[in-house]
Chain A
């Protein structure tokens, strides 16, 4: 029954116009970034490298597909959660608002399976968004701008990664980024189990992300003990793959925390939905 309802969930997601908003917005944003880079990318890169030009000499094509893919990932990973929540936040509460949850819950499928099938469908939708982002960033951008070494500026300074040492880092980065987005998906599905309308869970998801991000960025001792347990702290862990050497311990820690978040959020959604009186 889980597979049958998961198949149904895919049919619903495919048929809903809002499912295409994410893909459309993502594509539009990437092409805006590409247009900006094509038009004025050199001065953008000069602005970043200016402070190093007295000590270093940069040769070759710095403004290449690898750098732009990195910029895209950095810029959009903050905004994609909204696109994810737009669809996943509606999965349970949207049915409550429409009244179809009543029909669904009177069928011979357990409520646990209803939530799990929605989680799987949400996970696949999030994967599609991530893969689309990866395709545009790694295939289309490289086709337009070519490849080359990647210059990354991070807290420890300027890192230059060689062209042949980059692709595996991107693949691992997209995996961790997917895990972070999956947590957003689970959060909005969890909130969706508490709500009776679509907007509430979407807005609440974004509110929680903003709140946690602010707590994570505040340099206040009182928050230090909780910062590493906030999933938002680990949403940027994909960047760790662009350090040299890669700090695998930190990455594994992020992966564990994100996976635990996903399990907890889905468990809360299942418990809540099982106990819920459906009165809509």
Chain B
């Protein structure tokens, strides 16, 4: 289909007097891995639950695949696979049986072969007959991804899919999400409170805080328009700092430790600074431009 896959407009939801979501709007295009970023309690899960009709919004509209969710719920959900917070399964049933059950109410009966292939895709081959109660959190997360994909949906919604996973599990789940985009051309909406995670996986994102959408756009554009933190390990750092301050009076240069100095610069300034210091006869042992991701995120959520 042409046009956006998800279009959320002016969504609001109150629980009693608490306004969990206030006027949230954003758009997800076909083929996006869309980051839904915000600190804990920002309203991400509530928004996602509204998009999956788990929670009824107080106002606003949600259109998915060009159709209004309120009027075409079943048709829309038929083409969505999702994990909300953590995938929960029938503990007393095997992984295969769980997948069979969820596929059946997703509108299609999956063959044993399809279930096996899906278990293999998520790295759970050979564990299909095991009861879910014996599975680790990481295995459940992978089974959750298998469950989202089994009925071959076009849109995948993952709410904090790496929460509670060990570092290896996080990498595995991230790789799985990237494979969904590259191998299966799925559109993915990924909610997370970790900026680094969104930066690695997503191409577009919205930042949500205190129930409001703060900023939306391409991840690269949003991140690159911010200053970089340039850390330089340079010989004779005191003279180097003086030289920099004389040549670039607008820059605030800070001594970190040893012969390491740091300054906030624009992207174009990195090469210029390198050239300047070498020309002045300083030896550069290392030069590392760091994006001020966390600062950027904090700035947005503190607005």
Contact = CB atoms under 8 A, between A and B. Distances in A.
A and B: interacting chains: yes
A4 B101 CA distance: 9
B5 interface: no
Interface in A79-119: 98-100, 102-110
A105 B105 contact: no
A124 interface: no
A132 interface: no
B75 interface: yes
A5 interface: yes
B239 interface: no
A277 B74 contact: no
A11 B77 contact: no
A277 B54 contact: yes
Task: Name the residue in B52, B86, B147 with the highest tally of chain A Cβ atoms < 10 Å from its Cβ.
Answer: B52
Nearest to A94: B90
A15 B53 contact: no
A130 B85 CA distance: 41
A8 B56 contact: no
A55 interface: no
29 contacts: A1-B74, A1-B105, A5-B104, A5-B105, A7-B104, A8-B101, A8-B105, A11-B101, A12-B93, A15-B90, A15-B93, A17-B92, A98-B88, A99-B86, A100-B89, A102-B85, A103-B87, A103-B88, A103-B102, A106-B77, A108-B105, A108-B107, A109-B105, A110-B73, A275-B56, A277-B15, A277-B56, A278-B55, A279-B55
Given A8-B101, A8-B105, 16 more contacts: A11-B101, A98-B88, A100-B88, A102-B54, A107-B106, A108-B73, A108-B77, A108-B78, A109-B74, A109-B105, A277-B49, A278-B49, A278-B55, A279-B49, A279-B54, A279-B55
Interface of B: 15, 49, 52-56, 73-78, 80, 82, 84-93, 97, 101-102, 104-107, 147
